[in-house]
Structure 1
């Protein structure tokens, strides 16, 4: 069935059929004839062609570093729900924690969507500026100041990590090892900055390359243990879960010998044995604020960044007093 046949049946032009089927202004009697003819003939319009003609797609794109990470999935689910309620579909792209692939994905999505969300983007500021020059219909999530004129919604990773540091100091820990995340991640930079600031109240920290997955945590657990630190602070919960798993295999008492903390409070954190001490990010508020900012960006507006709640400290069984009351820092 073609648009020509609908036009012939309704006694109108192809252009009138196209406008009526897209919901664009058409004289009421003509619109009725077109819709009746389309229904009788079983005609379905080509949505892609309509999008090209109108310049709108009712589609948004979301690029995430790792779609398997439950933290990103939680944010994505909230955005998807809001988008669906507004009549938009969501196209998700996984960058595999590769800044170059992330940039390429973002550029390829821009011509196909009405708006684009970059969640925890790893790409350098120069690439963000190139994207901003192509379109202002973008929102950055969990990315600090970059000199790019795009809306940015962030959770305070610095404050979250300072809460972890305060807990550990209160438990007598003075020497900790930090297992870092992806070097290009803004939250990684904020978490390490907090640990450096914690030296002011007696917490000494050294840094090891970690990663962002359970497998990464399992791999570096023995190296972290060999430092002699009484606590291990992991970049995220997945990394911490891998660490705890390997330590228990080695017969290491957690938290009797060494305490372990994560970040994000993914669903598995409470199910681990021992359950994981972590920080809980306001994912729902982050997702809602992201959608609101994207709607504004698509309308050409520049709203003020929202004030999101600070992450909460969630104390569970993987942290305890430092052996012997801690060492001198």
Structure 2
């Protein structure tokens, strides 16, 4: 297998990991105002992702860095043409991170909760818009410069992609909350998951079919995504939170795989195919790709092992106390072993 192909696959894996892990983070933030009826509930919801959310964002940083090093032409065209949407995503992620860090240090948490909500909803929507445009193709000239405008990116297909990722991540977050909480919070998250799952299934499948990847492996990914969402609904109805989360994660994996398999061998198609960026004309030199491959082979298992250990340590469910100080320490959240 050529190194350009290897790095296309690795970048796809990095985006998959980001969407699976950060996807439920976004969902938790989106659901905060709907499930957090009391301050104790809101504290518990935030604490479900408290130990892991910043580690999940590392996948995005590595994906961006890998794209810059392996496919610099792709990186340059993407970040110049998609400058405003990507800037809005970055701004939302900053606001979200600040809200999570400073929420416990403020006497009033309402403002931080709103920032957490919008900082989660914005990227969940805009990542879908961005990837829909990448898959569909954008106007590029012979020098691979983006020649469109912001309105070019806000086409109906891209907006459908944004709705698809928004709903998919919200469902993923609801199932994650059902897995990580107890009592009324778990019941509320389960009700939302049961309601959302059929809608998400329809929207996600409609978006993927509209993207028309065409390849057999693409169709396999579409089928797996649909099966994952159906499995998540079935497991949720049976109260099997672990299986529901595994099925939801599988659906996110298959959804991302469908995007990248439909994209190959392009990395950024142009409306005029002669101007498209491919894994060949956008790639770095063979020497650069060789060095990067050795570095990735050494350090990737270490990073994966560390993150797996983190999730294992913080695997227990959380339950909030109905009374107590507004911004309590860890003792106000008691880990239990339900389910």
- TM above 0.5: no
Q: Which has the higher strand share?
A: 1
Q: Which has the higher helix share?
A: 2
Provide TM-score, normalisation by structure 2. Answer: 0.26
Provide TM-score, normalisation by structure 1. Answer: 0.26
